[in-house]
Amino acid sequence: MIRSDHALHLITDERLLPRTIFIRRIKEAVAAGARVVQLREKTTRPRDRLELAEELAVLLHRRQARLIINDDPLLAKLSGADGVHLGREDAPVEVARALLGPSAAIGVSCYGDVRRALEMEKRGASYVSFGACFPSPTKPEEPVVPLSLFEEAKRRLCIPIVAIGGIRPDNAGDVIAAGADGVAVVSAVLGAKKIARAVQDFQHAVGGKTP
C-alpha cells in the first residue's frame, strides 16, 4: 500500500535519465528522502527493462523505499516491485491484484474523472492519480484539470489521491491544499541540476511531509 503520507512520487523518464547515470541519480533522490519511485520505461527492450527493474527494486528496498512499475503488472511481479500503476489502456485492477497479491500497491490514472476514480476504488485500487494539474513539459498534450477536482475527490474517495502534471515546488502546496495526498513529478526533480535539493524543496512545499 502507498500511504497518504508518501507525498512525493518520483517518476522516471528515459530522456532525462540515460542508463549510464540512472542508478546514481535515483540514489541521490532516495538519499534526500524520496520514498516512492515509479519506473516508466517505454522504449527499453523487455530484457533490459527487467534487469533495470530488478536492480532498482534491490536499491530501493535497502533504503526502505518502494518501487512501482508503470503499466506492466507482470514486470512488477517478476522484478519484485511493490506495485504497479495502470493507465486507461492497461490491465484491469482485478487482473493486477490477482497477479500481485493483496498487499501490492495498485495505482490508477483517472485524468480528470472522479467517477472513474470511484469505480477504481471499488475494484480495489490502492490510490488514484489526477492530472495534468498544470501544463506539463513531459506530456504537453495532456488536458489541464481544475484544482477544484481534488476538493471533490477528497470528499468522495477513501483511498489516497496523487496529483500529476506540471507540478513544481512553487505550486505543489496549492495542490496539497486542494485535497491531494501526494504529488507525482518527473522533470521538476530529474531535470534539476541538484536532485537532492529538488526533493527537499518538494518536501518543504507539501507542508513538511516526509515521504
Look-up: residue for cell 518501487? 67
Binning the chain into helix, strand and coil, the percentages to the nearest 5 are 40, 15, 45
The verdict on whether 24 is a catalytic residue reads no
Q: Which of 35, 49, 66, 109 is catalytic?
A: 109
Residues 175, 150: Cα–Cα separation, whole Å? 8
The verdict on whether 103 is a catalytic residue reads no
CB 183 within 8 A of CB 175: yes
Is the peptide bond preceding residue 180 cis, with omega within 30 degrees of 0? Answer: no
Q: Which of 3, 77, 139, 197 is catalytic?
A: 139
Q: Which of 40, 77, 116, 123 is catalytic?
A: 40
What single letter denotes the amino acid at residue 87? G
The verdict on whether 40 is a catalytic residue reads yes
Q: Which residues are catalytic?
A: 40, 109, 139
